[in-house]
A and B are shown apart, each in its own frame.
Chain A
Amino acid sequence: MKQGLLHLTFGTAFGFVISRNGAADFDAMYEMFLFRDAHLFVVMAISTAATTAGLWFLRTQRIPLPGNRPIRWSFRPIHRGSVIGALIFGVGWGVSGACPGTALVQFGSGHLIALSTVAGVICGTWLYGPLNRHVLKWPLTSCE
């Protein structure tokens, strides 16, 4: 219950911030892709730089965390899917202007049509299971 509320709160905060940043706005995304407006480039650069500093601080200072629960640092080495997966995702991103998170933010912002993207993301995510089991047969990777 407590955990559920925590994840819901984080999601709400992230959705609010993404929406106010314009990161889920189709027009703003297109203006970034077409190099007409640097706004989203700058948002991404600042967020990545500040997150790098914050996570570096957490890792090196080893400050005590609530409940003494250690952080599960995920390692993401290059694997067979790094490029091909990103290529497929990139095509979907370029056309829809959405990624898995921003598709939901678009829907929450009142764009009912974004439900189509969300449904697609769910189908694509599901498709990976049988595709990997029967065709690719790669060791499972996860975005955790």
Chain B
Amino acid sequence: MELASVHFWPAWLGGLCVALIAVAYPVLTGRLLGVSGLYDLLLTSLRKRPAEETQTVSSMAELEAALAAATLEAFGDDVVADGEPGAVSGASDPEVAQVLAATFSPTRTRPLFLVGLILGAALASLSAGDSWTLTSLGSHFDERFGGDLVVGVVSLFVSGCMIGLGTRIAGGCTSGHGISGLACFQVGSFVSTATFWTTGTLVAWLFFWGLS
């Protein structure tokens, strides 16, 4: 069987392109690249609907945050530094600063990265002339799940739940821990990456031997 990788960019080119993005991202956005946290932000931004933001305020901090949010709404998030509480006057009180930091984090714009991932993949797929296989992920996938659509869908959903929950508990995923975290020599990232890589490999082997 032909190796899947023959259809892709050479490893050196692909690796350098990932690195270019992982370095340019913090330069232009002020934060390290990490995808799993964006899912969390997406859910947070969906919860914070505009109607909920007009509720009555019970403390000075909330009032100040509400005023700041209104400013943000009117002038965009370019007028304040990206989530930096110190960028707003009167934010010396830690409690106020915390509320302001939460208010100023551009939770509505950062998850657009996730939409971009879909767009980028579609562009890559169209430009390479790949055929779209709606109900399969590839020949190994069909082999593993025996072409049973229901089993495949349920397995992927349960796996997805584990991916979402696990990355939240570990505080990162392959990009946040595996690229950004390792690149910054973070011990937690080394431990997490070694653990999920080993587990993923073992599970794939068990899965392979168990079903073959």
CA A58 – CA B125 in complex, angstroms?
33
Asked whether A20 and B160 contact (CB < 8 A) given A71-B31, A85-B166, the answer is no
CB distance from B187 to the nearest CB of A (A): 5
The segment from B50-58, B61-69, B172-180 that touches chain A is B172-180
- Would you call B187 and A51 a contact (CB within 8 A)? no
Q: Which residues of A contact B109 (CB under 8 A)?
A: 3-4, 6-7
Instruction: Say yes or no for B60: interface residue by CB 8 A criterion.
Output: no
* Interface residues in A88-144 (C-beta closer than 8 Å to B): 88-114, 116-128, 131, 136, 141-144
Q: Which residues of B contact A131 (CB under 8 A)?
A: 165
- By secondary structure, the B interface counts as helix
Number of interface residues of B (CB under 8 A): 132
A88 to chain B: closest residue by CB: B166
- By secondary structure, the A interface counts as helix
CB distance from B10 to the nearest CB of A (A): 9
Instruction: Say yes or no for B74: interface residue by CB 8 A criterion.
Output: no
- Would you call A26 and B5 a contact (CB within 8 A)? no
CA A116 – CA B106 in complex, angstroms?
28
CA A106 – CA B153 in complex, angstroms?
14
* Interface residues in B86-135 (C-beta closer than 8 Å to A): 106, 108-125, 128, 130-135
- Would you call A22 and B116 a contact (CB within 8 A)? no
- Would you call A117 and B160 a contact (CB within 8 A)? yes
* Interface residues in A26-67 (C-beta closer than 8 Å to B): 26-28, 30-31, 33-34, 36-37, 39-40, 42-56, 58, 65-66
Number of interface residues of A (CB under 8 A): 117
Q: Which residues of B contact A3 (CB under 8 A)?
A: 29, 76-78, 82, 106, 109-110
**Using a Cβ cutoff of 8 Å, how many contacts connect chains A and B?**
521
- Would you call B159 and A100 a contact (CB within 8 A)? no
- Would you call B166 and A89 a contact (CB within 8 A)? yes
- Would you call B31 and A100 a contact (CB within 8 A)? no
Asked whether A108 and B191 contact (CB < 8 A) given A87-B199, A89-B163, the answer is no
- Would you call B16 and A50 a contact (CB within 8 A)? yes
* Interface residues in B137-190 (C-beta closer than 8 Å to A): 137-141, 149, 152-189
- Would you call B30 and A69 a contact (CB within 8 A)? yes
- Would you call B171 and A87 a contact (CB within 8 A)? no
Q: Which residues of B contact A53 (CB under 8 A)?
A: 19
Q: Which residues of A contact B (CB under 8 A)?
A: 1-4, 6-28, 30-31, 33-34, 36-37, 39-40, 42-56, 58, 65-66, 69-79, 81-114, 116-128, 131, 136, 141-144
Task: Show 30 residue pairs from A and B whose CB-CB distance is below 8 angstroms, ordered by the A residue.
Answer: A2-B76, A8-B116, A10-B24, A14-B21, A19-B124, A20-B124, A22-B5, A27-B140, A30-B140, A34-B205, A49-B15, A50-B20, A54-B183, A55-B32, A81-B171, A89-B166, A92-B166, A93-B199, A94-B203, A94-B206, A95-B159, A99-B163, A105-B118, A106-B121, A116-B152, A116-B153, A120-B161, A125-B168, A127-B164, A141-B168
Q: Which residues of B contact A (CB under 8 A)?
A: 3-5, 7-9, 11-12, 14-40, 42-43, 76-78, 81-84, 106, 108-125, 128, 130-141, 149, 152-189, 191-193, 195-208
